[in-house]
Amino acid sequence: GQYNMIIVPHVLPVLHKSAAPIAERASNNLLTNAALFIRCGSSTPASFDVTKALIRTDGLLQYGTISSLLMGASLFLYNAVPKNRDASDNFEEKIKNAAKNCFSFSSTLAIFSGLTCTTVYFLLGLYAKTAIALGLGYVEFMVATQEFRVLGFRCMLTVIASFQITVLSSILIYFKGRRSYLVFSIASLYAIAMD
C-alpha cells in the first residue's frame, strides 16, 4: 500500500546499522527481511495489513489525546476555583463546603487518571509503530499489552466521570443562592442524558 514506500527507505538503513541485533533476532537472513518489507511492508506474513495496523495504532493515540485535554481542563479548574472552606453553620455554606471537598477529590482524580491514561496510550502507540516499522511482532505486542490497554481505557472512563463531577461541583461553588441549585440540576440532567 501507500505505507510501503514510506517504511522501506527508513527501515532498511536502520536494520543495516543501529538495529542489527534486533534484526538478527527477527531473522538470520537480512535479504529475506528486505524482500518481505518490499512485498508487504513488514517481516510478518503477507496477510498482515500494515494500513489497518497503523489505523488501529492511531486510534489508540486518540484515547491519550482525549484524556490529556480533559486532564488539562481539570487542572485549569483546580487552579481557578477557590477551595477555602467557611466555618459558618449556614446550610448553604455547608453545601458549598461539601461541594469544595467533592471538587478537590474529583479534580485530583481526573488529573492523575488523565496522566496515567495519556502516558499508557502514547507509549503503547510509540512502541506499536516501532513494531510495525521494524516488522518485529506487532500482533504479539498487541496481545502482550492488552492489560495495559484495558488499564488505560478504565483511566479514560475515570477521567470523563471525574471531570463531570468536577464541573458540577464547581457550579455549586461559583453560583449563589437558588440559582446554583437550578443550574446544578440542569447540568446534572444533561450529564445523565449524555451518559
pLDDT of residue 139: 85
d(CA 63, CA 163): 15
**Secondary structure letter of residue 19 according to DSSP:** T
H/E stretch holding 29 reads none
| Cell representation of residue 14 | 536502520
Mean pLDDT score, 156-179: 88
| Cell representation of residue 183 | 443550574
* pLDDT, averaged across the chain: 76
Task: Give the model confidence (pLDDT) of 6-40 as tens digits.
Answer: 443 444 344 344 444 444 444 444 444 444 444 44
Q: Compute φ and ψ for 16, nearest 5 degrees.
A: -70, -35
Task: Give the model confidence (pLDDT) of 52-70 as tens digits.
Answer: 888 888 888 899 899 999 9
C-beta separation of 132 from 50 below 8 A: yes
pLDDT of residue 37: 44
**pLDDT over 70 at 167, yes or no:** yes
pLDDT of residue 27: 43
d(CA 161, CA 171): 16
Residue type, 111: I
H/E stretch holding 195 reads none
d(CA 41, CA 62): 24
**pLDDT over 80 at 140, yes or no:** yes
Where residue 81 falls (left for φ over 0; alpha for ψ -120 to 50; beta otherwise) is beta
pTM of the model: 0.67
pLDDT of residue 15: 38
pLDDT class of 48 with cuts at 50, 70, 90: low
Whose CA is closest to 169, among 86, 71, 72, 80?
A: 80
High-pLDDT (> 90) share of the chain, %: 29
d(CA 61, CA 126): 9
Task: Give the model confidence (pLDDT) of 98-113 as tens digits.
Answer: 888 899 999 999 999 9
C-beta separation of 165 from 63 below 8 A: no
pLDDT of residue 84: 75
**Secondary structure letter of residue 28 according to DSSP:** S
pLDDT class of 147 with cuts at 50, 70, 90: very high
Task: Give the model confidence (pLDDT) of 67-90 as tens digits.
Answer: 999 999 999 988 888 777 777 777
